[in-house]
């Protein structure tokens, strides 16, 4: 999983303007983030149509605020620069919950 450097919202939208992306907002101090991290490689391999990007919430605090990320771990799905779904709250998330979120995303015609 690629780790996103510190970026502005405009820089992020430029990077993700083509294709399907899953942003994974996390932080090193977050125990619930640590809980889901071991499952992320399996989730990534199951959903190969998405490019997964890890976003350090603390390093990208302004971006997180602009995107209304007020709890972590959180996920936002994009297709061609448009948000197609979000799983954003401060609760611990299981592999099954993340997979259900991805499975329920709308299929957007390319």
In CATH, what number is assigned to the domain containing residue 30? 3.40.30.10
Annotation says 99 is catalytic: no
Residue from 23, 27, 30, 63 carrying the catalytic annotation: 30
| CB-count burial class (<10 Å; 0-12, 13-18, 19+) for 73 | buried
- pTM of structure: 0.94
80 occurs within a structural domain: yes
Residue from 33, 40, 64, 88 carrying the catalytic annotation: 33
Cα-based torsion angle of the residue sequence 48, 9, 56, 69 in order, rounded to the nearest 10 degrees: -90
Cα-based torsion angle of the residue sequence 54, 57, 60, 63 in order, rounded to the nearest 10 degrees: 100
108 occurs within a structural domain: no
pLDDT tens-digit map of 26-50: 999 999 999 999 999 999 999 999 9
pLDDT for 71 equals: 93
Annotation says 51 is catalytic: no
Domain that holds residue 44: 2-103
């Amino acid at each position: 999983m690629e780790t996103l450097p510190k970026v502005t919202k405009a820089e992020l939208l430029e990077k993700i303007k083509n294709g399907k992306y899953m942003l994974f907002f996390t932080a090193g101090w977050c125990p619930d983030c640590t809980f889901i991290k071991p499952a992320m490689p399996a989730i990534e391999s199951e959903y190969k149509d998405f490019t997964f990007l890890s976003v350090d919430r603390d390093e990208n605090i302004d971006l997180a605020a602009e995107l209304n990320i007020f709890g972590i771990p959180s996920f936002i799905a994009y297709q061609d620069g448009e948000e197609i779904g979000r799983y954003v709250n401060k609760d611990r998330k299981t592999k099954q919950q993340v997979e259900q979120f991805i499975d329920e995303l709308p299929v957007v015609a390319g």
